[in-house]
Amino acid sequence: MKTLRRLPSLVVALTVGAASPALAQRTPSTVQTVTRPVNLSLESYQLDNGLNVILSRDTSVPVVAVNIWYHVGSANEEPGRTGFAHLFEHMMFQGSRNVGENEHFRLIEEAGGDLNGSTTSDRTNYFEAVPSNFLERVLWQESDRMGFLLSAMTQEKLDNQRSVVQNERRQNYDNAPYGLAYETMLAAIYPPDHPYSWPTIGSLTDLEAASLEDVQAFFRRYYAPNNASLVIVGDFEPDQTRAWVERYFGGIPAGPPIVRPSPAPVRLNGEKKVVLEDRVQLPRVTISWVTPAFFQPDDADLDFVGSILGGGRSSRLYQRLVYEDQIAQSVSASQQSRPLGSLFAVTVTARPGVDLSRIVAVVDEEIAKLRSEPPTDREVRAALNNFEAGFIQGMQTALGRADQINMYATYTGDPAFIERDYARYAAITPASVHAAVQRYLTNDRVVLSVVPEEQTNLQAMDSSISPLVTR
């Protein structure tokens, strides 16, 4: 069994070029207490280089989670240069100045910890959960790749990870059943230059065109402390943790100011119908509407609309399509909230041979009922109960809490926004749900039919007036 290198030697290696604690200034701390729907104590402050730091202590178990959000995702890319944010997530695990290739995983896992990263359209995160006595190790590793990644980046590493991502694209998108459905839907809703018009993974052509210089420029622009938020949750000693944060992150220079994407609002005029022939057994239809951005008015109400229409077996669409009419295999409906604008989507997988026009007709009937008459108090209460249960379940672990706190810190500027977030759901009424349905679930929408190859007769459209998309 291999033994870990002693932590002090690693710490010494990292401090080369870093500022001393005395030079790493920070703004005065803001201490906030959250009481609903969970109890949290938060301390937040900012280093001189712009790094936002949030601490939330919980000594119930000897575990600590470290979560870093970089405020960059596929929405920060440009047409012809897509997939960079996700590709860079992979590059961040290929070693930095003081952490060798594949060492990031080894050092955390041999300490008994978990780690990973993920990319969305609007952020990239990296997270670890370790026994409390390994907190310093995690902090210097994260700071090493924030401050000293470029010196270890090589063409060979880029080529290797480019190949990994391209294979991921082929496996999960190009060659997967229904794999191109979401990408086709995005292209039908958004204009080509809109930052949400392409999927996070990007295109094979764009990935192939990415040069080492492109990737290095992406790092310099976005992977800087002034574009990041560091959250530490769990069993730690506050004074020591603040000193470590200042020691390892304080000397990393700030990057250039970030210009956030600000596309014009998207509006659909009427109904657009698209059909995608795919190597699938069952036809599937997705109906999408443009809806308000994350945390904007009606965003929370539309979450409840999703629960009422397609949130489980007791929902209206599931009862009607699966149990009563028996023409569908599965049903889902949800508000897909994002900072630059959201989508509300209903997706139904039909039973074999069922014409998707029948599915859409039933969906329209059920939406019409919800447009003409508010949901019941019981339906709204059930939606709130489901929201609370899911919310609290996600906050049970230090990793879950850290990610939720970082989401609020990044998107709202307030890590304690959890109370206000809970309040907007608790304030929902049948009348407010009814108003949201009337306002947004209109005929201005995109209807995507995914049908088995050579079975376009099952599509929810008249093929004589709609474009045909094939794969």
Q: Round to whole Å and give the CA distance between 423 and 360.
A: 34
Q: Which two tokens stand for residue 378?
A: 């019981």
Q: Which residue has the tokens 């994350």?
A: 294
CATH of the domain spanning 16-249: 3.30.830.10
- State the amino acid at position 17 in one-letter form: G
Q: Return the pLDDT at 12.
A: 33
114-119 β-sheet, strand order: 30-34, 40-46, 52-57, 228-234, 63-70, 124-131, 114-119
Q: Rounded to 5, what percent of the chain is helix, strand, coil? A: 40, 20, 35
Q: pLDDT of 101-110, one tens digit each?
A: 889 999 999 9
Do the Cβ atoms of 355 and 390 come closer than 8 Å?
Answer: no
Output the pTM of the full model.
Answer: 0.91
- Burial grade of 389 (CB within 10 A; 0-12, 13-18, 19 or more): exposed
Domain-by-domain residue ranges, the chain? 16-249, 271-470
Catalogue the active-site residues: 89
Residue spans of alpha helices (H) in 2-77: 7-14
Q: Round to whole Å and give the CA distance between 196 and 76.
A: 10
**Under CATH, to which class is 271-470 assigned?**
alpha beta
- Give, for all 471 residues of the chain, the pLDDT tens digit: 333 333 333 333 333 333 333 344 567 889 998 888 888 999 999 999 999 999 999 999 999 999 999 999 999 999 999 999 999 999 999 999 999 988 999 999 999 999 999 999 999 999 999 999 999 999 999 999 999 999 999 999 999 999 999 999 999 999 999 999 999 999 999 999 999 999 999 999 999 998 999 989 999 999 999 999 999 999 999 999 999 999 999 999 999 999 999 999 999 999 999 999 999 999 999 999 999 999 999 999 999 999 999 999 999 999 999 999 999 999 999 999 999 999 999 999 999 989 999 999 999 999 999 999 999 999 999 999 999 998 888 899 999 999 999 999 999 999 999 999 999 999 999 999 999 999 999 999 999 999 999 999 999 975 333 333 434
In this structure, the chain runs to a length of 471
Q: pLDDT of 273-291, one tens digit each?
A: 999 999 999 999 999 999 9
Task: Tell me, yes or no, if the two domains 16-249 and 271-470 fold the same way.
Answer: yes
- Burial grade of 191 (CB within 10 A; 0-12, 13-18, 19 or more): exposed
Report CA Rg, the chain: 24
